[in-house]
Structure 1
Amino acid sequence: MKDSKRKLAAIMFTDIVGFTKLSAKNEPAALELLERQRDLLKPIVEKHNGEWLKEIGDGLLLSFEGNIDAVRCAIEIQTEAKIVENLTLRIGIHQGEVVFHGGDVIGDDVNIASRIEAYSPSGGIVVTDKVHSSLARDPLYQTIDIGKPDLKGVAQTISLFCLSSHGLPIRKEVANNKNSKKVLLKNNLYLYSVIILAILSIIIYITMNPFLKDSVSDLSIAVLPFANMSADKENEYFSDGITEEILNSLAQIDELRVAARTSSFAFKGRNEDVRSIGKKLDVSNVLEGSVRKFGDDIRVTAQLIRVDDGFHLWSNTYDRKFVDIFKVQKELSDAIADQLEVKLIGNDSVTKRSGTTNNAQALDLYMRGRFLWNQKKEEPLLKSIEYFKEALTLDKNYALSQAAIADAYFSLARIKRWTIDKNERNEILNNAEMNAIKALEMDPSSGEAYAVMGILYSGLDVSREWKSDILKSEEYFKKSIELNPVYPTVYQWYSEFLRSQENYNKSRLMIDKALSIDPYSASINLTAGEFYSNKLGRLEEGLEYFDKAFNFDPSIIYGSANFAYTILLERFYKWEKAEESWLHAYKTDSTFYGTLWGMTAHYLNRGMLSDAEKYFSKLLFHYPIGSGKMPTDNDTYDLAAYKFLCSDDFKNAQDAILTRVKYDPCIDWLLFDLSITFSKLNEIGKGLKMIDSLNYLCSHRKHIYNVQPITNEDRIKLESFSLWSKTILHSLDGDKTHIDREIKKLESNDEDLDVISARAHLRIFSKDNKKALDDFEILIDNFEPPRFFLKNPFYDSVRRYEGYDRLIKKMNLEYKNL
C-alpha cells in the first residue's frame, strides 16, 4: 500500500463508562468531560513515550513502542482519572502490527484492541496474552485469567487477563468465554428466570420505597455540628469534637458518601432548615444533635432526618459517663449504619478509623486541640500544639494527634512567613517534617501525614528556602490521595504545587476535585479564587470564589489571602469594597506586611497621598529596610519608588530604584519609571548608561530574585524593556526615530495585552496621545489598568489630553481624590 507504514506496537483503547447516558442528559457537561480527559491524559501518554493516534467519540486509540510502557501508562491513567468526576474508564491493551496510512491507523490488531476494552471492569485494565507475556515474570504486575472471549469480526483466539495489582478493580471471567459456552447454555434457562425475578423485585422495591424517588444520592449524609447544651460555653470544643468523631467514623463506610467537615461546619449557628442545608450539601440524609457535658457525665442526643421530606428516620439519647465516650461513638455510628442499611440497601459496616486512641482523656485533649487548630490563627495554633502534645503523653501511639502537630506547624509557618526570619521559619518547618515522619511511623496509612510531607517538599512560597524536592513532593501527594481519596486538603495543596509547575490543566482538575468534596470550605474557595483569576485569567469566576470564601468565613480573609482578593477587587475598580477589605484585614492584623503594602498601593492608585504615606510609615516601622524581617526588601523599594514618584520626589524615587537593582538588576516596568527620574533630573546621558549597565548585569543572571529561573521568553522581555526605556530617553532628548520604529513593530498586535500596554506607554513619548489613550482604554476594559494612573508623572502629558477624564470615570476614580 503506497504511503503506508507498518510497525509492531502495543495498542491501547480507552472508553468512558456511561458517556452516552451523560451526553443525553447533559451535553455541555459531556463535552467538558472530553476536554478534561484530553487535558489530563495527553501529558501522561507523552510521559510514557506513547502516541496519541485518534479520538473516536469518547474513546482514545493510543500506541506505544513496548508493552510495559503501555501498561504503566494505563495504570497511571486509571489512578489520575479517579480525580475527575464521571471520568471512569475501561482500558484494553493488545500487541500487534499496526498500519499507518494517510493519517489513519488500521489493521486487525487495532480491531482487537477496540473489542477487548469492553471486557475491562469499570476503572480497570485488560490485556491480551501477547501483552501478558511481558508482565508474567515481573512480580510488580498481578493478573487474573478471565478467559477467551468470542470477539466480533476477529478470527484469532485471544486470551484475556485482568490486572489485579495497583488497586485496580477485577472481573473473574468473561461472559462469552469460549471455554465455558456449554456450561452457560445449560444454565441459560435458570439464569433468565433469576434475572426476571430480580427485575420484578427491583421494580416492586422502587415502586413501594419512597426513599428512592428523586434522590440526589441515597447513600449520602451530612453530619451537622452538634449544639453545645452545656452550661459552660467553653465546652463547645467537646460538641464540635464529638461531631467530627462521628463524621470520621461514618466516613469509614466505603458505600457511604459523607459531606466534608468544613462544608458541614459552614452551617454552624445558622438558623436554616435542615432540608435546605441537605440540598445545598447535595446529600439525602442529615444527622443533627446536641451534647451536654456536666462533670464526668455526658448526654448526646442525635436524630437522622431525610432531606427529601424532612421525615425523622431515627433518634436516640445516650446518657453515659465521659470514660464511655468511645462506646457512645460506636453505638451512635452503628445505629446510623443500621438505619442506612435498612433504608438504603447498604451492606457495609463501621470500622475503626486508623491512628485513633482508646484513651478518653487523650481524645478530650485532641478535641480541644482540633477546636483551636480549626481557627487557623497564630495563638490558637500554638495552643493547639500544646494540647496535641499532651494527648501524646497519655497515648504515645496516637498517630492522629502526631499528624495534627505536623499540620499545625505548617499552618503556623504559612501564617508567620512574613513576620519571622529565615532561621525561625526553618525551625518551624523542621518541626512540621519531624512530626509528619513520626505520624507515618505510627500509622503508615495516614493520608493526612503524607499530604503534609507533600506540601513541605513542594518548594512553594513558605518552604522554598528550606527544602524543595519536586519529585518527592508529587510522590507524597499521590500517596496521600491513594490512602485517603476524600481528603479535600490534599487536592488543594496538590493544585497549588501543580500551579507552581505551570501544569494549569491538572491544577484545575485538583482544585475542582477539592471543591466537589468540600464546596463550603473558605480556604479551598480562596485557593480557587487565586488560581482562576491569576493563572487562568478568568477574573469573574475568581472573584466569585473569593466572595464565597468571605461569606463562608469572614475571619479567614486576612493576610496573603486578603491581598489576592482585594487586588482583584481593585482590578474590577471596586475601590470602596476594596478599601473595606483592606481595613478589615488591618483590623485583624495591623502588622501584616502584605496588608500594609497593599493599603499603601491602594491609596496611591486613588490619588490619596496622605493615606498612602500613613500606611507606608507603618510598614517601615514594622519592617525596617535592612532588618532581615523580610526575605528581601525589593517590594518595599518598589513601593517607595512609586510613592516618591506620585509625590514628584524624583531624587528619592531614583535612589529607591537604584538601591533595589543592586540586589536584582532584572526589572521590566520599573525601568520606564527609572527613565522618567533621569529625565526629570536632567540626567538623560547618565540614564542611558545606567540602563545599558543593568541590561548587562541582568544578562549574566540565571534567576530573578535568585529563585525564579529566567527563561528565554523572560530574557527577550527584559531586553525589550531595556531597549524601550532607552528610546523613551532618546525621545525626551529630541530624537524620536527610535521610539517611532519600536511603536511600528508593535502596531500589528492587538491581541496581546502586554504588547498593547508597552505600545501605549511608548506612544506617550511620541506625542500620539489619542492613540495612547485608545490603547489604555483597551487595557482598562480588560481590567489591566495602568498603575497609579492618577498621580504617576509618567502619564502627565495624557492627563491633560481630551479623553483622559472618560477613562478615569471608567475606572470609578474621581478627581476629588487628587
Structure 2
Amino acid sequence: MRQLAAILFADMTGYTALMQENEQLARTKRQRLKDVLEETIARFHGKILQYYGDGSLSIFNSAIDSVHAAIEIQQQLLQHPRVDLRIGIHTGDVTIEEASIYGDGVNLASRIESLAVPGGVFVSEKVYDEIRNQQHIQTREMGYFELKNIKQPIRVFAIANNGIVVPGRHEVRGKTAAPVNRLAVLPFVNMSADPENEYFSDGITEELLNTLTRVDGLQVTSRTSAFAFKGKNDDIRDIAIQLNVDKILEGSVRKAGNRVRITAQLINAADGFHIWSETYDRKLDDIFEVQDEISGIIANKLKENLSAPQKTVPAIKSSVKNITAYTHYLKGLHFRNKLTPADLRKAIECFKEAISLEPGYAQAYAMVAMVYSYLGSMGQMIPHTAFEIAHQYADKALELDNTVSEALIAKAMPCILYDWKWQEAHDMLQKAIQLNPTSAEGYDLLGFYYIATNQKAQAVKTLEDAEQIDPLSTTIIKSLGMMYVFSERFDDAIRQAEKLLEMNPEMRSGIELKAWATGMKGDWQSALTLFEEVQRLTNHPLKGLMGLGHAYGRLGMIDKAMDCIHRLEQRQQEEPDVVIDGDLAAVWLGIEDLDKTFYYLNQCVDKRMGPVACFMEYPPYKKIKQDPRFEALKTRMGI
C-alpha cells in the first residue's frame, strides 16, 4: 500500500556503552523509552511500525501530530531516569507491505534523525512548511546539509520548544559534509554621498558575479538571491545558512570626484572569521577598467582560498564603456525584475537608451529581446509583433557577442514561445546555462520546454536544481510550484506558494498558484476565495478573471462564470493588442463546454500564443486529452 505519511525515526543514544557499564539501568531506560513511545505515539494518532536495536520507526497521517508527539516524547524523557533520544521527521510517499516500509522518504527521515543531537528533534523543510504557522510549535533553522546517499543538500529545522535541545550549527556540522567552494557575493554598499552612485556599487557586484560564475570548481549563488539581502543587516552566518554557502564576499564602495575606494572582505561563514580584507584606492579615469581590475584581483584572491582545481581566473571585460549607458542598463534591470507590464515597458525604454549611447552593448540588446518576449507570452502584445522584435534584438546581441548567456536565452525565448523550434531552443538554453550556471531565466525556460515536450519529471528536477542555486528567486520558487502542479504534486505546489506569500502576502502570482493547486486537490470552494482575492488585487474589473471563471464553472455557478466570459470579451474589444484566448479557453473548460474550449485553444495556436503548449498540460486539461482534437493541436505545434 502506497501513501503519504509523516515518518518519525527515534534512536536512543549511548545504549551500547550503558549496557557495558550498568546493564540493569540500560534495560530500565530502554523499557521506559518503549512505554513513552507507545503511549504518546498512539495518543497523537500515530503507529509504530518497527523497532530496531535501540530505535524505532513510526508513521503519522499528519506532520503536525508527529511533531507534537516528538515534543512530548522528549519532554517526558527529560524526567528521571533521563533517556537521551534523537528524533528526525520527514513527510513523503512510502510503501507499506506487512511489517515493512519502503521509499525515499524513509531514507531521508533516517538521515535527518542521524543528524540530530540527544534531546533534539530535527525536521525536514517539508515538515516545517506544514507546522510553520502552528502557534505552539517553535522552530529554528539549521540550514542546508549534505547527507549521505541524498543527491541534493537538505534544508533542516530544529524544534525549539521548552526542554528540546537545539544545537549550534557547528555542533551538527561535524556529522555531515559541509558545503565546499560555495560563495555568495552580497551587494556592495554604496558609501558615497550621492545616491546615484548606487548604480556604481551594484555594478561592482555585477562584475564580480559575472567573473566568478566562470571560475571552475566554484559555485556562486545567483544575483537574485544575493540581492535579496541588499540594505539589510542580517548576520553573515544566517545569510550563509539561507543560501547554503561556506564563504561570503561583501564590501563597500565610496566614490568622490575622480577617486574611488573599494573595500572587500572574504568571510568564512561557519564562524564569521575574516579570511582576508583589502582596500583599493584608484583614480576614476575609466570606471570599467577599475571594475575589471578589482574583480580580477578579488577573484584571484578567492582562488587562493577556495582550493578549486583551476589556478587562473578568466578575465571578463565589459562590452560597455559608457557610464551613462551602463546606468540606463542597470535601471532597466531594476524595472525588468518587477515583471509587471508597465514596468517591463519602462525597462525597454531604459535598455534602448543604453543602446543609443553604446551601440555595441550586447547585454542591452539581449534584455530588450527578453522583455518583448515577456510581453508577447503574457498576452500584453500581439505575439507576432512582440516576437518579431525579440528575434531582431536577440540576433544583434549574438552578432555582437555570442558568449553572452543572456543573448542565447533571448534567442531561445521566441524559439520556445512563438516558433516552437523545440530542439533549437533546448540546445541554446543548455549552452546558456553552461556559460552562466546561475541563470534563473535559463532554468525557468528549460523547465517549460520539458513541460511542453511532456517530460514532467525532468521539468521538476531542473527547477529543483535551480532553487538550490537561487533559493530566494521569486521566479524560480513560482516556476517550481508550477512544475509541481503539472506533476500533480499539489501539496508541494502549495508549499511553494506559501514561500512566495511569506515574502509578500499580496503577491498575486503566489495566491494564484495556491488557488490552482488547492482547486485541483478537490477544494474548489477554497480555491474560489483565493481567486477572488487575485481579481481584487488587479484593481481592474476586466482583469484577473481566468481562474475565477474556471472555479465558478467547476462549482456549477454558470451565471457567474458566463459573467467572467462577458467581461473578458469586453476587455478584448477595449484592448485589441491583448490576447486572452487562453483565459477564455480555461473558463469554458471549467463550464465543461469542450467545443468552445477547443475553439479558443485553436485560436491560441493560430495566434502563436506560445504558452499554450505548456498550459495544455495543466491537470484540468486531462479531461480533453482523449479527444482527437487534442492530438491535432499538439501536431500543429510540432510536439
Assess same fold via TM > 0.5. Answer: yes
Inter-CA distance 244–341: structure 2 relative to 1 (3 Å threshold): closer
Could you tell me whether the CA contact under 8 Å between 1:225 and 1:288 is conserved in 2? yes
- Residue 341 of structure 1: how far off its partner (Å): 3.6
Instruction: Give the Cα–Cα distance (whole angstroms) in 2 for the partners of residues 312 and 358 of structure 1.
Output: 33
> For 1:586 and 1:222, how far apart are their aligned partners in 2?
38
Q: Secondary structure at the match of 1:703?
A: helix
Counterpart of 1:333, as a letter, is: S
The residue matched to 1:430 in structure 2 has which SS?
helix
Does 1 or 2 have the higher relative contact order (CA < 8 Å, sep 6+)?
2
Measure how far apart 1:661 and its partner are: 7.8
The answer to whether the 8 A contact 1:521-1:552 is kept is no
- Aligned-partner residue type, residue 266 of structure 2: L
- Out of 350, 359, 363, the residue aligned to residue 387 of structure 1 is 350
Quote the Cα distance in structure 2 between the aligned partners of 1:601 and 1:615: 9
Q: Which residue, out of 368, 387, 410, partners 1:452?
A: 410
Q: By how many angstroms is 1:293 displaced? A: 5.2
| Contact 1:558-1:589 at 8 Å conserved across structures | no
In 1, the alpha carbon distance for the partners of 2:180 and 2:583 equals 56
Residue 52 of structure 1 is matched in structure 2 by none
How far does residue 589 in structure 1 lie from its aligned partner after superposition? 5.8
Q: Match of 1:376?
A: 339
Match of 2:571 among 622, 639, 646: 622
- Per the alignment, do residues 307 and 495 of structure 1 end up closer, same or farther by CA in structure 2, a change over 3 Å counting? same
Identity of aligned residues (%): 31
Give the letter for the 1:558 counterpart: R
Look up the match of 2:178.
216
1:574 deviates by 8.9
The 3 A distance-change label for structure 1 pair 250 and 477 is closer
Shift of 1:215: 6.9
Find the residue that maps to 1:707 and give its secondary structure: helix
| 2:452 is aligned with 1:500 | yes
Change (3 A) 1:446 1:633: closer
- State the alpha-carbon separation in 1 of the partners of residues 564 and 279 from structure 2: 56
- Counterpart in the other structure of 1:524: 476
Counterpart contact for 1:373–1:384, Cα < 8 Å: yes
**1:212 & 1:298 partners in 2: Cα distance?**
42
Confirm or deny that 1:587 pairs with 2:537.
yes
Matched, 1:703 2:629: yes
1:435 aligns with 2:387: no
1:335-734 superposed matches below 5 A = 335-346=297-308, 348-353=311-316, 356-415=319-378, 417=379, 419-420=380-381, 424-458=382-416, 460=417, 463=418, 467-533=419-485, 535-552=486-503, 557-558=507-508, 563-571=512-520, 573=523, 579=529, 582-583=532-533, 586-588=536-538, 590=540, 593=543, 595-602=544-551, 618-624=567-573, 629-630=578-579, 632=581, 635=584, 638=587, 642=591, 660=596, 663=599, 703-704=629-630, 707-709=633-635
Deviations 1:162-211 (A, max 9, x none): xxxxxxxxxxxxxxxxxxxxxxxxxxxxxxxxxxxxxxxxxxxxxxxxx9
In structure 1, the residue matched to 2:17 is: none
Aligned counterparts of 2:439 and 2:590: Cα–Cα separation in 1 = 45
Q: Residues 233 and 356 of structure 1: is their aligned pair in 2 closer, same or farther, counting only changes over 3 Å?
A: same
Deviation at 1:363, TM superposition (A): 2.6
Can you list the C-alpha shifts for 1:652-708, whole angstroms capped at 9, x where unaligned? xxxx96994894799xxxxxxxxxxxxxxxxxxxxxxxxxxxxxxx99x96349734
Cα deviation for residue 343 of structure 1 reads: 3.0
State the distance in 2 between where 1:451 and 1:239 align. Answer: 26
Q: Whole-Å Cα distance in 1 between the matches of residues 305 and 513 of structure 2?
A: 47
Residues in 2 aligned to 1:333 and 1:344: alpha-carbon distance in whole angstroms: 16
Note closer, same or farther for the CA distance 1:233–1:613 as it changes in structure 2 (3 Å cut): farther
Q: Report the equivalent of 2:188.
A: 226
Q: CA deviation at 1:539?
A: 1.2
The CA distance in 1 between the partners of 2:552 and 2:425, in whole Å, is: 40
Partner of 2:272, secondary structure, is coil
Q: State which structure, 1 or 2, has the greater radius of gyration over its C-alpha atoms.
A: 1
| CA distance 1:507–1:661, change in 2 (3 Å) | closer
Task: Verify the 8 A CA contact 1:298 1:322 in the aligned structure 2.
Answer: yes
Give the Å deviation of 1:432: 1.1
Kept in 2, the 8 Å contact 1:523–1:549? The answer is no
Amino acid corresponding to residue 538 of structure 1 in structure 2: R
Aligned to 2:276: 314
SS of 1:519's equivalent in the other structure is coil
Q: 1:246 to 1:308 in 2, by over 3 A?
A: same
Shift of 1:278: 1.0
Contact 2:211/2:299 (<8 A) preserved:
no
Cα distance in 1, alignment partners of residues 502 and 303 from structure 2: 36
**Partner deviation per Cα, 1:458-504 (whole Å, 9 max, x = no partner):** 2x4xx2xxx22223223323333444444342222112111111122
What CA distance in whole angstroms lies between the structure 2 residues aligned with 1:661 and 1:577? Answer: 21
Tell me how far apart the structure 2 counterparts of residues 592 and 321 of structure 1 sit (CA, whole Å).
Answer: 56
Aligned residue in 2 for 1:13: none
Amino acid at match of 1:457: C
SS in 1 for 2:239: helix
Decide whether the 8 Å contact of 2:207 with 2:295 is kept in 1: no
**Cα deviation per residue 1:297-321 (whole Å; 9 max; x = unaligned)?**
6554433221010112333444556
SS of 2:429's partner is: helix
Distance change >3 Å, CA 319–CA 380, structure 1 → 2: farther
> Residues 282 and 610 (structure 1 numbering): CA distance in 2 closer, same or farther, change over 3 Å?
same
Cα distance change on mapping 1:664 and 1:253 into 2, 3 Å: closer
Answer whether contact 1:491 1:510 (CA < 8 A) is retained: yes
Q: Which amino acid aligns with 2:385?
A: E
What residue in structure 1 maps to residue 88 of structure 2?
Answer: none
Query: CA distance change for structure 1 residues 327 and 597 in 2, over 3 Å: closer, same or farther?
Result: same
CA deviation after TM superposition for structure 1 residue 568, in Å: 1.6
Give the Cα separation in 1 of the matches to 2:235 and 2:430: 39
Contact 1:451-1:476 at 8 Å conserved across structures: yes
Task: For residue 457 of structure 1, give the secondary structure of its aligned residue in structure 2.
Answer: helix
Q: Distance in 1 between matches of 2:263 and 2:546?
A: 50
Whole-Å separation in 1 of the counterparts to 2:397 and 2:493: 36
In the TM superposition, what whole-angstrom CA distance separates every residue of 1:726-771 from its partner, at most 9, and x where no partner exists? xxxxxxxxxxxxxxxxxxxxxxxxxxxxxxxxxxxxxxxxxxxxxx
* Structure-2 separation of matches of 1:657 and 1:625: 25
Task: Work out whether residues 285 and 307 of structure 1, in 8 Å CA contact, stay in contact via their aligned partners in 2.
Answer: yes
Residue of structure 2 equivalent to 1:260 = 222
Cα separation, 2, equivalents of 1:509 and 1:665:
28
1:575–1:262 distance in 2 versus 1, CA, 3 Å: farther
Q: Aligned partners of 1:368, 1:234: CA distance in 2, in Å?
A: 11
Give TM-score, length-normalised by structure 1. 0.48
Structure 1, unpaired ranges of 5+: 1-27, 33-83, 88-210, 643-655, 667-697, 712-818
Kept in 1: contact 2:201–2:253 (CA 8 A): yes
Q: In the alignment, which of 259, 264, 272 is matched to residue 302 of structure 1?
A: 264
